[in-house]
A and B are shown apart, each in its own frame.
Chain A
Amino acid sequence: MSDEKIWPSRRGFLTGSLAAGTALAAGTVRAATPDPLITTVQPWASELGEPVDAVPYGMPIRFESHVVRRNVEWLTESPYSSINFTPIHALEGTITPQGCAFERHHSGAIELSKSDYRLMVNGLVERPLVFTFEDLMRFPRHVMTAFCECAANGGMEWGGAQLQGCQFTQGMIHNMEYTGVWLRDILAEAGLKPEARWIFAEGHDASSNGRSMPLEKALDDVMVAFFANGEALRKEHGYPVRLVVPGWEGNMWVKWLRRIGVYDRAVESREETSKYTDLMKDGRARKWTWVMDAKSVITSPSPQAPIRHGPGPLVITGLAWSGHGRIARVDVSVDGGNSWAPARLSGDVKPKALTRFHYDMTWDGSEMLIMSRAIDETGYVQPTKAQLREIRGLNNVYHNNAIQVWWVRANGEVENVEIA
């Protein structure tokens, strides 16, 4: 027992990649007087806590009340056709809790019950069909983790550093473990006609947010999902049924899924022509830019997660992802991109899902320009904003997967900046 008690301090003294001098600096804090939190009996050590069932469905403890989705009001005219941001600066691991996963609605989040739910499959099929929610639950079920990133994530940063916070610059993303059925199994029930080439997915809401996708993708890994992170989808994420389109832009992940139409061509709906097309510098626009390219961002430290502990050991952490598959490596630079070192990839590395990275260092208390660079299994290296602008110009709002730079000041405060 006594051995076990002294073990942590001995380990702190003997190991670690810290240079000997700075290691001492970190360990020299001494208490002048005994800590009353230790020497006096605290109420929670004496009285009773809450009974079971105090909260039948638990919410985060009140000390975490800052960890919520947030909106940037000036971005949109109406909150019913708008977006908010996941507090990725305050989260760890890879799974995004549903309650703080970003929302994007085009005409508000609707309340649709399982009993009122219907899914229609029609168009170029042998048998146009209608499914109830119960029907969907009888198809073979699968589990898959996937990131969902809005095509406009980082879009406000395209013209220049604009928002002070990882949540606001990169928070149009979440990552959940879905349970559902393969779209290909549902399409097989209806039977595809030989001329079928595309599907068009629509929602039950007033916007319907219809999107076309090639049949190749629909038959590959697209899921009709009804559980996320082990429980029913939330209303704001499409309860009771949404589409999961791994690696492809969030707008295609149709919520409150109502109809799958099968076509021989793209429908060319509003969301795939006037929106979600990428205006290039010659005035023409790319369309069908579905895949989200490899990207990473340091989530902490960041403007909403300043360094408060002073010099010494510092954990830099962040997220990386690629719509093309797995993350192979993440490099971190603390000197504005002059030198780079690989970070640790922590936990599982799944394809088309968020990957957590950690980079452990000793901070000497001086200014740093910190940035991360993702490399995916295809060998694609996350570009800089300058590289993307050179090709696309300044009006290309969507698909900004450029490297994000944070300026760490000597006092630990962090700013969103652009560097040259």
Chain B
Amino acid sequence: MSRSREAALAALLACALALPAAGAERLGLGRPALPEEIAAWDVAVLPDGQGLRPGSGDVETGEQVFAEKCASCHGDFAEGRDQWPPLAGGMGTLTDRRPVKTIGSYWPYLSTVWDYIHRSMPFGAAQTLSVDEVYALTAFLLYSNGLVEDDFVLTHDNFTEIALPNAGGFYVDDRPQSEYPLFRGEPCMRDCRSEPARVVARAAELGVTPTDPDGRPAGTIPPILPARDAAAPAATETAAAEPATATAPEPAAETPPATAPDPELVAAGERVFRKCKACHQVGPDAANRTGPHLNQLFGRVAGSVEGFRYSRPMMQAGKDGLVWTPETLSEFLSRPRDFIKGTKMAFAGLRDADDIAAIIAYLQAH
């Protein structure tokens, strides 16, 4: 590791700092930050333990919290699900063609794990974990990476004793030494190649680019004049440039159902739905994500959306006759894991009956 380079950078910074700190005249703007405010917002934890809150948590508790609040994206064993990041495993893969970068294989500092879980996880419900839960989850992640035993308890006292395996795997940007000298100098202008260039790879053959309805890459500039050449696509300007915005009528507004939900309640429901959006989609382009899409939910048999991998208990509930209605959904949302034991929906539920009514109105509108 390049401690000397870090030291050199620090020295450089020290020199550069001489001027501005003291000299400038103050404008007297702003007000003193109160200790409570600093405690609320300054949550950063550094590799040396600076900023760590007192507390503790064990592997077993961590495993329970993880199963409840994290596993729906990160997998039961922190192995990652779909494209959500794996958090465990991958040791020894960093030189592979497809390296697996996890806490165990790549992350240099444990403080980063604690800091990030504490401030930003779970996705869509940040800052809802207690300090002890964060310790427990961090302990579980150490365990799932094979770095501690199953009886391990992580506390603020033993925290800085833990070194992650890849702590020495990083070095400070060396492009100024390793690259820039190679890329300086007057470049060749004529006869630069010994043989003519030939195409060795074509993106068009992969077919992974989003396309427009005519099959061209999405966003292709439409022709200004009709094509002169019959071989070229014969889209006219207006056809290709027809806007999707502006005058497009709202289909829902044209034929309101007999019992249209109260628009205000729908709007309130849209706000409450933010709690769900990390996993569920509704609307014209809704697709299955971490949770199934929720279009035309009411009347749907539980666990029946094609292509979505439900938990076994949810599928069973459907087989047993559970159909989503405002009543059943209301019950489910008030206590999801009691209503369907073993559901993989990692959501604690909605306490406020008004929120549930609003969500139902919102979903009825889709």
Q: Which residues on A are within 8 Å of B, measured CB to CB?
A: 59, 62-68, 70-74, 76-78, 80-81, 87, 89-90, 106-108, 120-123, 127-131, 135, 138-139, 160-165, 167-168, 184-185, 187-192, 194, 196-197, 200, 202, 206-208, 210, 214-216, 219, 258-259, 261, 263, 265, 267-270, 273-274, 277, 279, 281-291, 293, 303-306, 308, 310, 331, 335-341, 369, 373, 375, 378-383, 387, 391, 394-395, 407, 411-412, 415-420
Q: State in angstroms the CA–CA spacing of A314 and B232 once bound together.
A: 18
Q: Which 5 A-B pairs have CB atoms at the shortest separation, nearest pair first? A: A336-B197, A77-B83, A206-B126, A129-B30, A62-B243
Instruction: Specify which of A66, A122, A210, A263 is in contact with B241 (CB 8 Å cutoff).
Output: A66
B101-131 interface bits toward A, Cβ cutoff 8 Å, 1 = contact, 0 = none: 1010011110110011001100110110000
B185-222 interface bits toward A, Cβ cutoff 8 Å, 1 = contact, 0 = none: 10111111100111111111010111000001111111
**Contact (Cβ within 8 A) B21 A192:** yes
Given contacts A165-B217, A274-B101, A338-B196, contact A208 B119 (CB under 8 A): yes
**Contact (Cβ within 8 A) A163 B203:** yes
Q: State in angstroms the CA–CA spacing of A161 and B348 once bound together.
A: 44
Q: Closest residue of chain A to B81, judged by CB?
A: A77
CB < 8 Å A-B pair total:
343
**Contact (Cβ within 8 A) A77 B289:** yes
Contacts A184-B20, A277-B170 supplied; 15 other A-B pairs, CB < 8 Å: A65-B241, A66-B240, A78-B290, A80-B277, A107-B123, A163-B209, A185-B27, A188-B20, A206-B127, A208-B120, A259-B42, A308-B224, A338-B193, A340-B192, A391-B182
Given contacts A216-B13, A417-B202, contact A273 B173 (CB under 8 A): no
Q: How near does chain B come to A33, taking the closest CB pair, in angstroms?
A: 15
**Contact (Cβ within 8 A) A373 B187:** yes
Q: State in angstroms the CA–CA spacing of A279 and B94 once bound together.
A: 8
Q: How large is the interface on B (under 10, 10 to 19, 20 to 34, 35 or more residues)?
A: 35 or more
**Contact (Cβ within 8 A) A259 B197:** no
A188: chain B residues at CB < 8 Å are 20-21, 24, 26
Instruction: Specify which of A70, A258, A265, A340 is in contact with B218 (CB 8 Å cutoff).
Output: A70
B17: chain A residues at CB < 8 Å are 192, 196-197, 215-216, 219
Q: State in angstroms the CA–CA spacing of A194 and B20 once bound together.
A: 11
**Contact (Cβ within 8 A) B223 A81:** no
Given contacts A78-B290, A339-B190, A381-B185, contact A197 B10 (CB under 8 A): yes
Q: State in angstroms the CA–CA spacing of A381 and B189 once bound together.
A: 12
**Contact (Cβ within 8 A) A416 B197:** no
Q: State in angstroms the CA–CA spacing of A73 and B211 once bound together.
A: 12
Instruction: Specify which of A120, A270, A303 is in contact with B112 (CB 8 Å cutoff).
Output: A270
Q: State in angstroms the CA–CA spacing of A383 and B181 once bound together.
A: 12
B192: chain A residues at CB < 8 Å are 337-340
Given contacts A164-B209, A273-B109, contact A90 B185 (CB under 8 A): no
Q: State in angstroms the CA–CA spacing of A285 and B199 once bound together.
A: 31
A394: chain B residues at CB < 8 Å are 97
B64-99 interface bits toward A, Cβ cutoff 8 Å, 1 = contact, 0 = none: 000000000100000000111000000000110101
Q: State in angstroms the CA–CA spacing of A3 and B159 once bound together.
A: 85
Q: Is B179 an interface residue (CB 8 A)?
A: yes
* Residue among A164, A167, A267 with max Cβ neighbours from chain B (10 Å): A164
Q: State in angstroms the CA–CA spacing of A382 and B103 once bound together.
A: 34
Binds A, one of B32-40, B139-147, B336-344: B32-40
**Contact (Cβ within 8 A) A259 B20:** no
A380: chain B residues at CB < 8 Å are 180, 183-184
B109: chain A residues at CB < 8 Å are 268, 273
Instruction: Specify which of A65, A185, A192, A197 is in contact with B245 (CB 8 Å cutoff).
Output: A65
A219: chain B residues at CB < 8 Å are 16-17, 20
Q: How near does chain B come to A326, taking the closest CB pair, in angstroms?
A: 16
B224: chain A residues at CB < 8 Å are 308
- 9 A-B residue pairings within 8 Å (CB atoms): A65-B241, A107-B126, A122-B38, A167-B219, A188-B24, A191-B22, A219-B17, A274-B112, A287-B173
**Contact (Cβ within 8 A) A164 B42:** no
Q: Is B227 an interface residue (CB 8 A)?
A: yes
Q: Closest residue of chain A to B15, judged by CB?
A: A216
Given contacts A68-B219, A107-B123, contact A337 B245 (CB under 8 A): no
Q: How near does chain B come to A56, taking the closest CB pair, in angstroms?
A: 14
Q: Closest residue of chain A to B204, judged by CB?
A: A415
Q: How near does chain B come to A75, taking the closest CB pair, in angstroms?
A: 8
Q: State in angstroms the CA–CA spacing of A282 and B171 once bound together.
A: 12
Q: Is B47 an interface residue (CB 8 A)?
A: yes
Instruction: Specify which of A68, A81, A120 is in contact with B123 (CB 8 Å cutoff).
Output: A81
Given contacts A269-B116, A418-B201, contact A305 B220 (CB under 8 A): yes
B201: chain A residues at CB < 8 Å are 160-161, 417-418
A303: chain B residues at CB < 8 Å are 203-204, 209, 217, 220
Interface residue ranges of B21-70 to A (CB < 8 Å): 21-22, 24, 26-33, 37-38, 41-42, 44, 46-48
Q: Closest residue of chain B to A188, judged by CB?
A: B24
Q: State in angstroms the CA–CA spacing of A274 and B107 once bound together.
A: 5
